[in-house]
Structure 1
């Protein structure tokens, strides 16, 4: 060992100063991250600050964020992962069609139904093993693929429709998982998506789209409507994207694991002219402003992968939209088929070609068709029915070439031709009871915001001429004919009127007891207002503006006998039957 020279001492001093400076800066950094303000009285150890900062990071990390009730709570997640019961299994088995073609195991569902009494132990054992270990034998998820021609002379693979023949046990398991899932899917799927959610239907989307276009035209607003076609949506779906979405929506680890196992171990064998080929795995894909004041915002509508997006006629907005589609494709593994997608002008749009070029799709025009329903068309126009008429002509031309008896022709007309216009008619004739009872659906909110609603919320207000498309006008007009014959089922009594609504039989009390109604204190009273909650059961207490005469006591007696036994239930909503 030797003493350091002057140069070495200066170098060590400089290095030591640099070390202390960087150590101080690191300490300040961790102190700022830890947000601790009591440093002078506490520990100045950098390790302490490091732990505190990591703690804050874990606490502030956003694994998921709730937007308009778009995740399920812990109770629903736990219910999805409960053990399978024999009643649940048999109920799912009974709901399945037993006559479908069997899969690789050779057993149709009719076999499992017929042999349930002695096969149920094996089935329950299979489900118990799946519940406990989150997996089952891979061979149970083998599938035969049958290719069905889309058109005569097809050669390209895209011209065939693949039909999956799945094994019976896996089909039963999938049905049970679907039954559980459909109980919570409405909580996590946006109201703009109307496919595969109980209580929503395809016609809702078409009605909303027509009303939205009408509102823009009546207010002289310009905009564009992007009609998107997602290519082979179920075949190209990225599994990691699907599982990540399930996790972010609050589904439990076990449930997510079940779904991951079911979709990832599937093997397929194509039946070519009868015999199967070898099995192969898949790497992705799945089988399978108004009169009432505030406007109802509609930015996009979906039915499965059929998508409509409402945009302003702005090049900047279309640029952002094209970026959004690009990111969506990158994350989900899906692909927008721009050759089949189109941009439709609503109102006067001068730079339409520029907007279409920004997205990369073709230019279309209104009226068009969406989900088989005319979009942006005058519903009274004969042209609305051109598609139905064309299908009629094609069927009749084909039948004329065949030797069919008169009785056979009548059968074909009743079974085929008579059902063709039903889909289109169903939108033009939506029952009024839907508006009364489907209070949370998107289509009802749009109609209510646009036309307003009468007291009680059972009907919209009268529709003025020139306001709104003809669809809802006709529905409102026809509903008015039935208004006096509507019967109500009372719940909490907040939307049914005591005297004027039909709730206690095939009559209204004001018509059945006109002399009593004449001096009733409150002729517009709701049921809730005339129900006295005194005691455990409660009693009716209609009020009158004067004492009864002797000859009116009997009528009051009959009134009380008529409503006796009918009680309000504060936990239920009033409904229209």
Structure 2
């Protein structure tokens, strides 16, 4: 691929209303049209095999899978946390990866493409799109000096979400091959659910024991060393079932190195150990109303949508 096709302008989009720190901005890559055409062709070819090579725990960007499935599974598991009479209890760990797309290793992608059986020629095309881009940051209408990237996937590139879930397959594979017995069953005699993935949103479920906590920590450590990812401890959180002993909660919280909470949001849905009220759902209603305001007053728009 011509290197000039990969020259990219980066704009900073605020994540929150009052953005007063670089971490509160999301870098969006404005790729060139010719590059996006090539990337989209590769994406369309790749989509056909994703359901065959991506584990069922990953629901993002895989044809035939839905975010709703993970939301319902998560809700059922949290309900199990509330009603279970298991003496040792359970824990759920929500993991936040720091700048997940920007830190993914290209070498990891190259290895994963080969291990998943992607044809070498197709893999070379993908790598030629990903490796060696040049960035120009647009700030106050002015371009910065050129920045040569050494890792990461561009947010705004059609390929990036699909390549990210290919690399994150390492996490699921490591979990299944080495710690397949972990997890929390939704019903008596049902299969245990150990983890749910939606792109870089990671949720672990396990029995509340030091052994399981060490296993989860080991999995994350290995995954980060392979991919270049880094866990954001300040945004990660652990939630315990009602019957979990207080002493065990304290020991596991210290071992996992994140804060202990009674509720958190996953995929925009609040998971809590208490009964949810109308106020808990008001942000969802407000976002839905704000979205519909852009449809206008044309009745045909409403009927179509």
TM above 0.5: yes
Partner of 2:35: 170
Secondary structure of 1:200's counterpart equals coil
- Flag the 1:385–1:306 CA change in 2: closer, same or farther, 3 A: same
Q: 1:233 aligns with which of 95, 100, 107?
A: 100
Secondary structure of 2:143's counterpart equals coil
State how far apart, in whole Å, the 2-side matches of 1:312 and 1:265 are: 44
After TM superposition, list the pairs within 5 Å mapping 1:493-504 onto structure 2. Answer: none
Displacement of 1:183 in angstroms is 0.6
State how far apart, in whole Å, the 2-side matches of 1:214 and 1:252 are: 44
State how far apart, in whole Å, the 1-side matches of 2:101 and 2:290 are: 34
Report the RMSD for the aligned CA atoms in angstroms.
2.7
Partner of 1:306: 201
- Whose Rg is larger? 1
Partner of 1:422: none
| Higher RCO (C-alpha under 8 Å, 6+ residues apart) | 2
Q: 1:202 aligns with which of 60, 63, 67?
A: 67
Displacement of 1:261 in angstroms is 1.4
State how far apart, in whole Å, the 1-side matches of 2:39 and 2:186 are: 44
TM-score normalised by structure 1 residue count: 0.43
State how far apart, in whole Å, the 1-side matches of 2:19 and 2:186 are: 50
Partner of 1:186: 51
After TM superposition, list the pairs within 5 Å mapping 1:162-561 onto structure 2. Answer: 162-221=27-86, 222-288=89-155, 294-350=189-245, 351-365=248-262, 367-376=263-272, 381-388=277-284, 391=286, 414-415=292-293
State how far apart, in whole Å, the 1-side matches of 2:78 and 2:290 are: 38
On the 8 A contact 2:137/2:144 being kept in 1, the answer is yes
State how far apart, in whole Å, the 2-side matches of 1:300 and 1:413 are: 31
State how far apart, in whole Å, the 1-side matches of 2:71 and 2:64 are: 16
On the 8 A contact 1:243/1:260 being kept in 2, the answer is yes
For residues 228-273 of structure 1, the C-alpha deviation after alignment (integer angstroms, 9 at most, x for no partner) is: 1111110000111111111111112112211221111211111222
State how far apart, in whole Å, the 1-side matches of 2:203 and 2:33 are: 38
On the 8 A contact 1:154/1:160 being kept in 2, the answer is yes
- Flag the 1:235–1:246 CA change in 2: closer, same or farther, 3 A: same
State how far apart, in whole Å, the 2-side matches of 1:415 and 1:383 are: 21
- Flag the 1:258–1:337 CA change in 2: closer, same or farther, 3 A: same
- Flag the 1:215–1:349 CA change in 2: closer, same or farther, 3 A: closer
Give unpaired runs (5+ residues) of structure 2. 156-184, 297-305
For residues 279-313 of structure 1, the C-alpha deviation after alignment (integer angstroms, 9 at most, x for no partner) is: 2210110013577x741321100111111100111
State how far apart, in whole Å, the 1-side matches of 2:150 and 2:78 are: 41
- Flag the 1:381–1:183 CA change in 2: closer, same or farther, 3 A: same
Displacement of 1:416 in angstroms is 5.8
State how far apart, in whole Å, the 2-side matches of 1:354 and 1:254 are: 50
On the 8 A contact 1:210/1:376 being kept in 2, the answer is no
On the 8 A contact 2:186/2:193 being kept in 1, the answer is no
On the 8 A contact 1:368/1:377 being kept in 2, the answer is no
State how far apart, in whole Å, the 2-side matches of 1:280 and 1:199 are: 38
Q: What is the aligned residue count? A: 263
State how far apart, in whole Å, the 2-side matches of 1:230 and 1:158 are: 13
Which shows bigger deviation, 354-363 or 149-158?
Answer: 149-158
TM-score normalised by structure 2 residue count: 0.78
Which shows bigger deviation, 301-310 or 263-272?
Answer: 263-272
- Greater strand proportion: 2
State how far apart, in whole Å, the 1-side matches of 2:203 and 2:186 are: 21
On the 8 A contact 1:206/1:375 being kept in 2, the answer is no
For residues 61-105 of structure 1, the C-alpha deviation after alignment (integer angstroms, 9 at most, x for no partner) is: xxxxxxxxxxxxxxxxxxxxxxxxxxxxxxxxxxxxxxxxxxxxx
On the 8 A contact 1:378/1:384 being kept in 2, the answer is no
